[in-house]
Structure 1
């Protein structure tokens, strides 16, 4: 019997009616002890106990019961975070030899005995070489290329959870709320399992109810309300979420006096953020850990002198430093990766740190990411990134500059209107001259789905630097690459439009979808007329004329696809066809006509770049999410799905076409049109008032 089940039995004997798990229903310790054996037996009959099982679920009471039942059944689990794409999830399941994946709705059955109604999707995979005693396989990066599942035993995970409780004291076991997305080991071990061992109450609310419907664009006002409304006493956050919560509290004046612990891990916390958290009364303790060590290794003890450190070992592991300052961990560890047992040696973390006279660990950066400038200065990028991220205008940032004379930053702003220039200037004032950012560029959000971020919100630096090469590295680069680079900021701000994000993540209503299709109709109906006007003015340019002829043939009639989709979704297609566009849509179309008629008609290809690139994103990410959320038929998505497939082919053709354009005037006109169109298209989306936004407010 696992330590978790033993603890549940102990709590059921000493205080049977106290609440163990709260949320959609309240589950007492007595009820939990009574139903778990039945649920474990039930799960064991539905699943192959000899093969790993993928888990793709939300937070919730029944999801907690499923976790505990799987522990009791001895089935190896593979948690899949919600931000894994289908391809990433499939790669993880195949690599681990999963027999099935549990997904979809999991509900508490009616009657005196809780039970599951769960979707189990069988998979055909080859059996994988999983180490003995494995209970959980965690894929930390979500890579689809060469995934390496970290194999962990339940004894190890319970030992870490128990060490967390012993280090903190059971008095912190009040009401814990999971904020990190499901499937994240840190929350599972230090949040759920530690709460079970300590006898607290785990308030298992779905992500949408705590402002985390989109984990990379959280609603911090909603998060603050959920913490207040549920009398929460402890949280586990990453620095970005801490910054957002602090901002919401500072802006509203609301405070959270019931909180006794806000544990923060995943990345270094900037001292200014710690100061801001203290100013609004948040009891922040910074921690340090790795998946290979079962999540938590060290945690600040809350004493004034330790602030900024990650504290001492919680007792599960021994921490020491190599000669070059790299942090080495001894003690209980992961069992290995799939097909590769762990060598019997201290674990080299790749992190650089120092240990003070009281044994407290201070993290100073990553060994592999240390920047050495051409002036010979050694700079930890985490230090500079923390200074930049302390400003609420900046959501994410990567600093680089190895071998160069000055630092460069890739910045994701907190919102489309964020004043990034002012934020960089303010951070530079607080930094010494050699560590100041000389150049910066706005880019779209770093996400695990794009392969640029780990599940614990750590930057995948090499992947990001490959995705965004230095601008001065391509003075002779093909024009298409220059077009992408020089419109990246406009595209990034466009991609932060709340209505676009809601659509891409499926968080819209049927009425919202029809409203989008309505505006799509009113600009798509002008696509072919615009092409014909551009063709007429470019009749002396055979290469561009031939391209436009091909586009005209492909695009003719697409507006009628949209009307058919509107009708299939339950809208009034006839009224839309006879109606007028919104002012924002009209402004976008008018700008295109004016540019073609009065300026350089080659600029039209800048509009092509914006619209086709957006169609691909909406088809590959948004259409499936919206259809799943709304339950609409395939006939309601003909435009999005078909147009996306067409535009993937078009974009290959478009890149070749752009690389044949060598006239500087044409190039400048195309870039200017693309920048303008990203802004105008963003205005089109921003003008759609979503029903879901009113509900959230």
Structure 2
């Protein structure tokens, strides 16, 4: 026994009706009920015989929490797979553990390559498609969780909300296990409920709303999440008075972001950790007067600094990796830092990412990146320049009108001459989907460099970068924001479907018109033929959805589109009929990329709010899934465009269509909030 179930039973005895788990979307689970559920699951696991590895890939919720606790108590190693892993990464992890072919949430025999006493195998997404599994013992995990409780104080146990993606070790140990030990309430809604269905494109407004409504008292976040929350609070003049702890880690945090967070009333405490150390090494004290450090080492860990500045750790450690026991001695972290006279640890960058300029100056790119991303105009930044006279930067704008030049100038004014940014380039966002971010939000520098620095970028990446501001402007349209959040009325949804019908019925005719003018381009004719086959009849799906949603499908069929919809369709015909007909693919890019977003984030949210049947969403959900395939097909197709004329035609059309499609959404009347559920 690990002792965690014993602690749960103590809480059950002391406060049987107290709330242990709150999934938000369903009834909460009391301590007494949790103790019974975990014990029953343990018995079921032990009765299974031979199932000695649990492969978990679940969203946050009661079922996942009970399963996690039961496996820990039963001594069954858990392979926890983050849901954002690629299929290749997930299969590699399963195969490495001897569970090849096992689906999510399955149990399979564990490989003998797992070190003795392994309780959890954690794979970070790493820098390749074949990440390495770190093996941790139950004693180690609970020791870290106990150290978190000791450092924070059991009296701080309140309502902790799981914000980080499922499968992230930091949330499991410092959030879930620590809350169970301390006797707080673990609030564990599905990620979509928090606006985090795609953890790398969060809906921060929704996240802040749920944090406030659920009376959350503590969170663990990465810097990007902290910046998003702060942005919503600043923009709306809002506050989250129930919060008593916001722990931030995973990457270096800009001092200005910490200052902004504290001005918003957020009780932010910076931390530092590694998977090999059970996720937490140090945590800033609540009353720390000096902001910017990650605090003092927690009980059980000793920290020293090597002559070259690398942070070295001793004390509680992982068992090893799959097939390789841990070698005794200190652990070299790869992070650069220092320890001040008060014993506080400061993180100053990554050893492997150090830039050495042609003037012989060593520069940590994270130093400059944190200053850049503290600028409101900059969403993401990667600094590079090894061997160059001065650093350079790749920048992602945070808003449609972001002034990146002014942001760089402001940062340069605060830097010494040798570290000032000499040149910069605007690029598209770094995400896990395009393999440029790790699971916890770290830059995958080699992948970013391969795309943006090593030769000419693929045209699809250039298209994404060149239209990113138009996409951001499109996302500011109130109707689009309401649709993605699900806060629209049934009437607005039916009106949206009506306008969708009036432009989708022209999709195949437009493709046929483009095909007729591109007969000299057999590769484009073949692509259009495939599109035509798949898109034929989609307007009938929409009419069926309208009827299922309570609308008048016949009236829509015989009616006229809004002038904004007519303008978009007319423009598409005109651009296809004159000039370079390859421009048509700029419209494909806009409509399909938007439908993917609506299907992934909007459809289920609208369905939950309005209580409509699945039959009312066949076009949106099916089309979204289809367009995910189409986007990969589209990227391969346009990356083959060698002509500057083709590329410019696609780019111009895409920019125009974002504006015109935004007008279609803007034409839909949003009813007053008081009538939104009507």
Shorter-chain TM band: 0.7 to 0.9
Residue 289 (structure 1) shift? 0.1
- Match of residue 504 from structure 2: 521
Residue 99 (structure 1) shift? 7.5
DSSP 3-state at the match of 2:432? coil
Asked if structure 2 preserves the Cα contact closer than 8 Å seen for 1:527 and 1:555, the reply is no
Return closer, same or farther for 1:68/1:642 CA change in 2, 3 Å cut-off: closer
- The alignment status of 1:334 with 2:318, answered yes or no, reads yes
Return closer, same or farther for 1:415/1:577 CA change in 2, 3 Å cut-off: farther
* Alignment match of 2:163 (pick from 179, 196, 199): 179
Distance 1:673 1:615 in 2: 14
Residue 28 (structure 1) shift? 3.5
Asked if structure 2 preserves the Cα contact closer than 8 Å seen for 1:558 and 1:639, the reply is no
Asked if structure 2 preserves the Cα contact closer than 8 Å seen for 1:57 and 1:102, the reply is no
- Match of residue 38 from structure 2: 36
Return closer, same or farther for 1:527/1:71 CA change in 2, 3 Å cut-off: same
* Alignment match of 1:200 (pick from 165, 170, 184): 184
Residue 496 (structure 1) shift? 8.2
Distance 1:219 1:667 in 2: 32
- Match of residue 120 from structure 2: 136
Residue 2 (structure 1) shift? 0.7
DSSP 3-state at the match of 2:155? helix
Alignment of 1:285-304 (within 5 A): 285-304=269-288
Asked if structure 2 preserves the Cα contact closer than 8 Å seen for 1:51 and 1:97, the reply is no
Asked if structure 2 preserves the Cα contact closer than 8 Å seen for 1:2 and 1:155, the reply is yes
Distance 2:389 2:496 in 1: 49
DSSP 3-state at the match of 2:353? coil
Asked if structure 1 preserves the Cα contact closer than 8 Å seen for 2:217 and 2:242, the reply is yes
Alignment of 1:433-512 (within 5 A): 433-469=417-453, 473-474=455-456, 481=458, 484-485=461-462, 488-491=465-468, 493-494=470-471, 497-498=474-475
Return closer, same or farther for 1:634/1:176 CA change in 2, 3 Å cut-off: closer
Distance 1:243 1:257 in 2: 18
Return closer, same or farther for 1:40/1:100 CA change in 2, 3 Å cut-off: farther
- The alignment status of 1:96 with 2:97, answered yes or no, reads yes
- The alignment status of 1:239 with 2:250, answered yes or no, reads no
- Match of residue 608 from structure 1: 585
The TM-score with structure 2 as length reference comes to 0.83
* Alignment match of 2:27 (pick from 25, 46, 52): 25
Residue 424 (structure 1) shift? 3.7
Distance 2:585 2:539 in 1: 22
Return closer, same or farther for 1:586/1:278 CA change in 2, 3 Å cut-off: same
Distance 1:315 1:369 in 2: 30
Alignment of 1:35-434 (within 5 A): 35-45=37-47, 50-98=51-99, 127=111, 129-141=113-125, 145-416=129-400, 418-434=402-418
The TM-score with structure 1 as length reference comes to 0.81
Alignment of 1:615-626 (within 5 A): 615=592
The CA deviation string for residues 146-169 of structure 1, in whole angstroms up to 9 with x for no partner, is: 132211111110011111112222
Return closer, same or farther for 1:506/1:344 CA change in 2, 3 Å cut-off: farther
DSSP 3-state at the match of 2:271? strand
- Match of residue 112 from structure 1: none
- The alignment status of 1:8 with 2:8, answered yes or no, reads yes
Residue 282 (structure 1) shift? 1.7
RMSD over aligned CA atoms reads 4.1
Return closer, same or farther for 1:393/1:380 CA change in 2, 3 Å cut-off: same
Residue 211 (structure 1) shift? 3.5
